[in-house]
Structure 1
Amino acid sequence: MKKIIVIVIVAGFFIATILTLRNNKAIAEKAIIVEDISAKVIPVSTAIVERKDIEQNLSLIGTILPKSDINIVSEAAGRLVALNANVGDYKSAGSVIAEVDSELRKATLLNAQAMYEKAQADADRIELLYKENVATLVQLEQVKYSLQAAQAQLIIAKRQVKDTKIIAPINGVISMKMVDKGAIIGMNAVIANIIDISSLKVKVNVSERDAFTLKKADKVNISTDVYPGKTFTGTVAYISSKADEAHTYPVEISLANSSITPLKAGMFARITFSTIFKHQILTIPRNALLGSIKDPKVFIAKGNKAELRKLTIGAENGYDIEILGGLHAGDIIIVDGQNNLKDGTKISVVNH
């Protein structure tokens, strides 16, 4: 029994020795491989970091709005005796949309007209008597004041009758109707809503940095999901001088509305500002960048070795990236072959 135990112990020791030797051999082989890789010279292409002008295409989502959007309001209270407005109807500016009962107002107008005519006759008569030294100056002044008061009442009565006719303030389409014929309405009641979509405007909010690169009359490209592949051209009409609560600046873009490819108010649109220029900024080619936009890095050529640099980046246009930190003008960056590199890898520049 003791002999068997000794044999087992010796066999176990022998196996453990073999495993240890194999493990040491594997570690040594890996070290050789790592040494070979670090000693290997990687061919790369480079470019010089420089300052230049870039054009940035800023793309944002905005909302299409009508040129004008107006509530049609009644300036007279009373019963609505006529209503000529249905949703979708086109109305010309000045056309009658609705009418409020005017019977009493017309009676008031007739009375005001009669009072004015009487006051005018009295004034003419007293003035003639005054010239003949029959009427006094006080009497003449009194009839003139009465004439002015009657004239004022006549103007008011005419306006009250006129206000019973509710007219369209602009050329446009009725988008909403709030009341029906026969309804009793108050003064300043909204009868309907009218919009002018002969031309449109697009509203979009831009960041503080982008707001200062835009200019009034800049041309922009506008696209919608309704017309895939179709691009409309708009013009920057207004840039707010004051930020909103979100610290963005409202921008308004004017846009013609074609009868062939008509757009509707309330649609979403993608606006591409292609005229945002940045002048003499530090840039690198987009393909030189390693990592994500949130953690950008680049390799620079330092002698015959690659050195990894962390970057702070700004604007980009798909080809060039603005460098805000991490590089200087004249630095040599690696633009091809960088995926095979580590910090400190030996390199060979094959073109420059």
Structure 2
Amino acid sequence: MKKFITPLVLVAIAAAIGFTLFKNKQEMEVKAEQAMKTSESIPVRTEVIKKTEHKISFTSNGTFEPSQELTLKSEANGKVLKIYKKKGDYVRKGDVIAKLDDELIQSELSIAEVKLSQNQKDLGRYENLAGTEAITEKQLEEIRNATKMAESQVKMNRKRLANTVITAPISGYINEDYIEIGTLMSPGMNVVDIVNVKPLKLVVNVSEMEIARISEGDTVGVKVGVLPEKDFTGKVSFTSNKGDASLRYEVEIALEEETEQIKPGMFAYASFSYPAEEAILIDRKALANGVKNPEVYVVEHGKAVLKKVKLAQVGDNKLVLLDGLKEGEKLVTSGLINLKEGTAVSEL
């Protein structure tokens, strides 16, 4: 009897398990069907496209550069006899930096001046005799040419003599020197590097949208990386007329304050600010494919429609709409992850 009851129990257990699995399957199918119905439309958040008044401000970073810098080169031959200025010294335009040996040039100049004096006397005598038969026209022409050559020789030697005194062509600090007493110089050899940091200029690069607003003379706020507690101001002194390969334009800002704390090569931020104006602003998060190839979704008749747009950046997260959308359209601002062209959407 016990052997007969055991198979019946097993059959009952198996039937109970099968019924439970069947019921679970039905419940899963119902849930899947409900999920399918729910996923027929994707929930998104939207905002109506409209113009708003916004303050135009943007920041660009760059580095400080001296207003002038050059490498002074020798224009004369000769040995360095004296050095009046060295590395680290401040020089004004015209200050003597070094003196070269000029003994040979002085001698050549003296000889040239004697020749010129003699030629001038001869020319005067020949001109007095020009109306007589004592000299010919050819002789008079020859003494005139000789006098001109002598004058040129004197001028050349005076210039050579002046070049032995090496002077600063601009004001500034000597950043590097290349000479010592006894150095034998020749034309084209480096003497010193001079940098003029009064005023310093901050060089930054801005976008095509930003350069259109910037004018020479605009006042700009400046923050220096190593001096975060201080605020400086400057004025735009130059804007480039041609952009680089990435359509960035160079802007130079002359710093108004003079300070020894800021050095050429230091990093800084320039803050530009202009009066408010009306425009359509789009949040960067609404872009479907990034800034390089900007596209956004709008809702039309309950479906997502992908549109190409033209934008300009005016802040870290805000973009100005230049073309591609109209006022009144509904822009999808969140829920873009699963969107495709024509996807049904439901607005939250």
The TM-score normalised by the length of structure 2 is: 0.76
Q: Report how far residue 59 of structure 1 moved.
A: 2.6
Q: Report how far residue 93 of structure 1 moved.
A: 0.7
User: C-alpha separation between the residues in 2 aligned to 1:201 and 1:195?
Assistant: 12
Specify the code of the residue in structure 2 equivalent to 1:161. Answer: L
Q: 1:257 to 1:174 in 2, by over 3 A?
A: farther
CA contact (8 A) 2:243 2:250 kept: no
SS in 1 for 2:198: strand
Specify the code of the residue in structure 1 equivalent to 2:173. Answer: V
User: C-alpha separation between the residues in 2 aligned to 1:326 and 1:6?
Assistant: 76
1:350 corresponds to which residue? Answer: none
How do residues 278-293 of structure 1 correspond to structure 2 at under 5 angstroms?
281=279, 283-284=280-281, 286=283, 289=286
User: C-alpha separation between the residues in 1 aligned to 2:321 and 2:274?
Assistant: 20
SS in 2 for 1:230: strand
Q: 1:260 to 1:149 in 2, by over 3 A?
A: closer
- How many pairs were matched up? 335
User: C-alpha separation between the residues in 1 aligned to 2:7 and 2:38?
Assistant: 47
Q: Which runs of 5+ in 2 are unaligned?
A: 337-342
CA contact (8 A) 1:207 1:249 kept: yes
1:101 corresponds to which residue? Answer: 101
| Alignment partner of 1:63 is 2:60 | no
- Aligned residues: CA RMSD: 4.2
User: C-alpha separation between the residues in 2 aligned to 1:161 and 1:288?
Assistant: 71
Specify the code of the residue in structure 1 equivalent to 2:257. Answer: S
Q: Report how far residue 53 of structure 1 moved.
A: 6.2
CA contact (8 A) 1:213 1:276 kept: no
| Alignment partner of 1:4 is 2:1 | no
Q: 1:324 to 1:113 in 2, by over 3 A?
A: closer
2:340 corresponds to which residue? Answer: none
User: C-alpha separation between the residues in 2 aligned to 1:140 and 1:214?
Assistant: 67
User: C-alpha separation between the residues in 2 aligned to 1:346 and 1:252?
Assistant: 45
2:203 corresponds to which residue? Answer: 203
User: C-alpha separation between the residues in 2 aligned to 1:309 and 1:65?
Assistant: 49
The TM-score normalised by the length of structure 1 is: 0.76
Q: Which runs of 5+ in 1 are unaligned?
A: 348-352
Deviates more, 1:94-103 or 1:131-140: 131-140
Specify the code of the residue in structure 2 equivalent to 1:222. Answer: V
Deviates more, 1:24-33 or 1:130-139: 24-33
Deviates more, 1:257-266 or 1:317-326: 317-326
Deviates more, 1:247-256 or 1:292-301: 292-301
Q: 1:272 to 1:184 in 2, by over 3 A?
A: same
CA contact (8 A) 1:301 1:333 kept: no
2:50 corresponds to which residue? Answer: 50
2:269 corresponds to which residue? Answer: 270
Q: Report how far residue 152 of structure 1 moved.
A: 1.0
Q: 1:346 to 1:144 in 2, by over 3 A?
A: closer
User: C-alpha separation between the residues in 1 aligned to 2:165 and 2:205?
Assistant: 40
Per-residue deviation, residues 58-93 of structure 1 (Å, max 9, x unmatched): 333222211111111100122222223322100011
| Alignment partner of 1:189 is 2:186 | no
CA contact (8 A) 2:284 2:319 kept: no
